[in-house]
Chains A and B, each alone.
Chain A
């Protein structure tokens, strides 16, 4: 991305170019954040449109980066439907490359007012406790590409409970923490996304363990993960931070 900064430093000498580039990025940013916030709230376009008192086809354009005629009134309506405030500010061109570098789904997510840690009782303490818990059950490793990855820090099963069951419980716990504190994992290690993945079947076989169930991890709750459940063949499922299956 520092390469991008050097490139833009040259390209931005052209006034028309830099204003068009910045305008395009602004439109992209607004559309991408509206989509991200709607998905974070697990709502459909039709549901959010209904909250705003408009029809889904009318709403759809707000999630299109090619939409360029933004009205402040419309943005406030969207903000209200999403439970966040609207902030408009003027910036220097120099901050644009850095903003682009950090442009990802996690950086655009915001909690609704009711989940805003600043307004929840003991919010900071809760987040601090969650961070401590996450640190205690995750272990960090660095990939050959230099990316940080976290995995469950070994099974901690109760007596008589299959190893994978305790791991699933931990995994669902992590998903819950991440849902409650969206910035938590990012702040822990600069993580770009949180994915919960079940291990390949071979690994379980090699360890002489029972493979996990065919159901996606997010479908498993501690109550369901009892030993009398009949398990099907293993499926590997990747989940996004909202617990949805990644295609």
Chain B
């Protein structure tokens, strides 16, 4: 049984997984999604200290941390935003996706939106779900 748990924020009225939607919209490759999923699985298995460099040590804005999934040449530099908790100390919730280009985060208002999503999540704890990024890549 994993000690740590990672959740994804559910966006809008349809409560779609914000990160899955973003990965699809960005046309992120299967290889990068696999690397992202591996880091999430390792985080759940051993906690944040077992994935040094995955989550920023300091928040980018209040309570929001930047995740880093490095892409090789030609790949996107994925920088989703997450928060610790917010309902238990041994969990993280990934709130919104972003990419980094020339040192700048895209979309530009990603930090502000992440903060807003966190507020909405705290107000409605059902706005998150734990699931695989690719439940079945061949289906």
> What residues make up the interface of A, taking CB atoms closer than 8 Å to B?
1, 4, 7, 10-11, 13-14, 16-21, 23-25, 28, 31-32, 35, 63-68, 100-101, 103-105, 145
B32 part of interface (Cβ distance < 8 Å): yes
Which chain A residues lie closer than 8 Å to B38 at the CB level? 20-21, 24-25, 28
> What residues make up the interface of B, taking CB atoms closer than 8 Å to A?
1-2, 29-35, 37-39, 41-42, 45-46, 49-54, 68-70, 72, 132, 134-138
Which chain A residues lie closer than 8 Å to B35 at the CB level? 20-21, 23-24
Which chain B residues lie closer than 8 Å to A19 at the CB level? 31
Residue among B30, B34, B46, B137 making CB contact with A104, cutoff 8 Å: B46
The smallest beta-carbon distance between A109 and chain B, in angstroms, is 13
Residue of B nearest to A17 (CB): B34
Contacts across chains A and B counted by CB atoms under 8 Å: 95
Residue among B29, B45, B52 making CB contact with A65, cutoff 8 Å: B52
Whether B45 and A101, one on each chain, are in contact in the complex, defined by CB atoms closer than 8 angstroms, is yes
Whether B136 and A11, one on each chain, are in contact in the complex, defined by CB atoms closer than 8 angstroms, is yes
The smallest beta-carbon distance between A51 and chain B, in angstroms, is 19
Whether A4 and B30, one on each chain, are in contact in the complex, defined by CB atoms closer than 8 angstroms, is no
Residue of A nearest to B44 (CB): A4
Whether A28 and B51, one on each chain, are in contact in the complex, defined by CB atoms closer than 8 angstroms, is yes
Question: Could you pull out 11 A-B pairs where Cβ atoms are within 8 angstroms?
Answer: A14-B137, A19-B31, A20-B34, A21-B35, A28-B51, A31-B53, A35-B52, A63-B53, A65-B51, A66-B68, A101-B45
Whether B2 and A1, one on each chain, are in contact in the complex, defined by CB atoms closer than 8 angstroms, is yes
The CA of A238 and the CA of B91, in the complex, are separated in Å by: 20
The CA of A65 and the CA of B68, in the complex, are separated in Å by: 9
Whether A13 and B138, one on each chain, are in contact in the complex, defined by CB atoms closer than 8 angstroms, is yes
Whether A11 and B137, one on each chain, are in contact in the complex, defined by CB atoms closer than 8 angstroms, is yes
Whether A66 and B42, one on each chain, are in contact in the complex, defined by CB atoms closer than 8 angstroms, is no
Whether B53 and A17, one on each chain, are in contact in the complex, defined by CB atoms closer than 8 angstroms, is no
Given the known interface contacts A11-B132, A32-B50, A63-B52, the answer about A21 and B37 at a Cβ–Cβ threshold of 8 Å is yes
Given the known interface contacts A14-B30, A17-B31, the answer about A31 and B46 at a Cβ–Cβ threshold of 8 Å is no
The smallest beta-carbon distance between A60 and chain B, in angstroms, is 9
Residue among B32, B53, B135 making CB contact with A20, cutoff 8 Å: B32
Most buried by B among A10, A35, A67: A10
Given the known interface contacts A11-B134, A28-B42, A66-B70, the answer about A103 and B50 at a Cβ–Cβ threshold of 8 Å is yes
Whether A17 and B134, one on each chain, are in contact in the complex, defined by CB atoms closer than 8 angstroms, is yes
The smallest beta-carbon distance between A137 and chain B, in angstroms, is 27
Which chain A residues lie closer than 8 Å to B41 at the CB level? 4, 100
The smallest beta-carbon distance between B126 and chain A, in angstroms, is 22
Residue of B nearest to A192 (CB): B3
The CA of A19 and the CA of B35, in the complex, are separated in Å by: 9
Residue of A nearest to B43 (CB): A28
The CA of A221 and the CA of B49, in the complex, are separated in Å by: 29
Residue among B34, B68, B72 making CB contact with A18, cutoff 8 Å: B34
